[in-house]
Structure 1
Amino acid sequence: MTKKILMLVLLLAPMSLFAQKFAHFSYADVMQSLPDYRKANEELQTIYKQYEKDLTDMQNELKTKYEKYQKEVNESTPPQVVERKQQEINDLQQRLQQADEANTKAFQEEQQKKMQPIIQRIINTVKEVAKEGGYVYLLDVASSQNAGVFINESISEDVTKKIMNKLGITEADIAAGKAAAAAAQGNQ
């Protein structure tokens, strides 16, 4: 009797694995298709370009001051003048470094502020789709591959469209997302 129960359990265990539902999606496709993401990304690019311009202006000013210093300073220049000009250059270098650090920090904070609500919205939607579909695992394809986990897509359902539908993403949004992604890759 015990052997029969054990055999039954051993036979049914693998079958219960087949009853589990697995799904996968493309986080990148979902993210790029969201109009909110594209808008936030454009705003961040504008901020980044302004920070970059400010730093470039400061670098050019530093370069100009240094070249002027090299032309004006010679053996007959009084030591106080040489010291003052060197101090001006050092001060400008420090300001440049501080501006770079401040810009980096400000950009990261702005990025966090703009992207976190979008990311959270996607996470919540993925959880909803997983719960509604009764999926045991719902994995992002790219993240899984980066972590060394490969998805057998023939036995896993692609729920990217379901997630996009729940987020209100239209075909036009998908096309705009693909165009923006292609343009961004072309700029690199």
Structure 2
Amino acid sequence: MKKLHLTFAAALLVASSFFASSAQAQAPLKIGFTSVEYVLGQMPESKQIESDLKAYNTQLETQLKSKYSDYQTKLDAYQKGASTMTPVIKADKEKELTTLQQSIQEFQQSAQQGLQQKQQTLLKPVLDKIQKTIDQVADENGYTYVLNSDSGSNPILLHGPKEGDISDVILKKMGITPTAPNAAPTSVPAKAPASTVPPAPSKTKTKTK
């Protein structure tokens, strides 16, 4: 089961994290930066999010296994008894197997979307909390801009002085004692469970005279 680091969560804050209020426009320019991924990984809420997502993913796995087991049982029965089936019954069984196969594939797709939506729903209040704290720290310390230092295809910060990193200040503002900066970020399931489904037998064509 592949996992996805919460780096995408940082992107949700990029647009709203760049600028402080316009009232600071005439104040001396002061730029700070933070790693949203690092801050998120330090928060106790991230562990609960990971736990909730794993539990949700387990539910999806259970449902998928049930569907797959039903399909496999009926496929085995078809393969064993196909030679003795009448053309009508055989065609009906093939249609049923094809429908079950399509149902499994559709479930996998919807489960993937559901897992992503679940992740976004769980992350939203935590990201809102980070954003609120960034705003407070920026206002209290006179930062005109706060950039995001997380890596990605289009990083917002390519270089900056260490004193401009306000990540630990943000954490302390939330009552969290920062750990080592190189601590591994929290990760969560990225994909719904996958299962290799044997192809359903092709429909038998009944010859007509």
SS of residue paired to 1:50: helix
1:158 paired with 2:152, answer: no
Equivalent position to 1:120, from 97, 120, 128: 128
- The number of residues matched between the two structures is 161
Question: Superposition RMSD on alpha carbons, in Å?
Answer: 2.8
1:26 paired with 2:35, answer: yes
Other-structure match for 1:51: 60
1:39 paired with 2:31, answer: no
1:70 paired with 2:79, answer: yes
Contact 1:22 1:135 in 2 (8 A): yes
The Cα of 1:103 is off from its aligned counterpart by 2.6
More moved, 102-111 vs 130-139: 102-111
Higher Cα Rg: structure 1 or 2? 1
Other-structure match for 1:99: 107
Equivalent position to 1:141, from 134, 149, 174: 149
Percent of residue pairs identical: 26
The Cα of 1:183 is off from its aligned counterpart by 10
Structure 1 unaligned residues grouped into runs of 5+: 1-18
Report the Cα distance in structure 2 between the residues aligned to 1:131 and 1:168, rounded to whole angstroms: 18
More moved, 122-131 vs 90-99: 90-99
* C-alpha distance after superposition, 1:112-134 (max 9, x if no partner): 32111111111111122122222
Question: TM-score normalized by structure 2?
Answer: 0.65
Q: For the structure 1 residues 180 and 42, does the alpha-carbon distance in structure 2 shift closer, same or farther, using more than 3 Å as the test?
A: farther
Tell me which protein shows more helix as a share of its residues. Answer: 1
Question: TM-score normalized by structure 1?
Answer: 0.72
Moved beyond 4 Å, runs of 4+ = none
Q: For the structure 1 residues 62 and 107, does the alpha-carbon distance in structure 2 shift closer, same or farther, using more than 3 Å as the test?
A: same
